[in-house]
Amino acid sequence: MKKNTLTEKNALWKKAAVLSLSVLMGASMMACGAKGGSSAAEKNTTVAASETAKETEKAEEKKTDGEELKGKISEIKDFMFTVTTEDGKSYALSFDKKPEGLSEVKDGDEVVVHYTGELSEADAFTGEVLSVEKA
């Protein structure tokens, strides 16, 4: 009878060892999988950063492709502002998206406005205001 008991104990120890090793291997595989996930997150961050750089580059290209208007800014509102040039001509410039730099200027400041489209004293502005900066 003791032979069976020892054999049963050995079999039990073997099963416990196999089970322990299986759990250990599973845990190590999960740890390796977590490292792969972080590198994927790093790739997403790199892609997002390069997209932001491309958008900034496009905005800079627009500035150079567009026109400039220099004058005194007034009547700043949520959807438009007016620029009066040195020769007394006033242009009302409307926008859907607040242009870059508009929040940094106030009524009466001398500004340079970068824009695309056509300016007219009589007709509504149909172009796009790209940026506003103090002169």
Kindly report each contact of residues 65-68 with a partner whose C-beta sits within 8 Å and lies 24 or more positions away, as own/partner.
65/116, 66/114, 66/115, 66/116, 66/128, 66/130, 67/114, 67/115, 67/116, 67/119, 68/112, 68/113, 68/114, 68/115
Residue 83's DSSP bridge partners are: 73, 91
* 77-87 residue pLDDT tens: 999 999 999 99
pLDDT of residue 57 exceeding 90, the answer is no
* 8-28 residue pLDDT tens: 777 788 888 888 888 888 888
Q: How many helices (H) and strands (E) does the chain have?
A: 1, 5
Whole-angstrom Cα distance, residue 93 to residue 75? 10
Provide the mean pLDDT of the chain. Answer: 81
Whole-angstrom Cα distance, residue 100 to residue 19? 63
What's the full length of the chain, in residues? 135
Largest CA distance in the chain: 115
pLDDT of residue 62 exceeding 50, the answer is no
Q: What is the pTM of this model?
A: 0.52
Give rounded-to-5 percent helix, strand, coil for the chain.
Answer: 50, 25, 25
The three-state secondary structure class of 46 is: helix
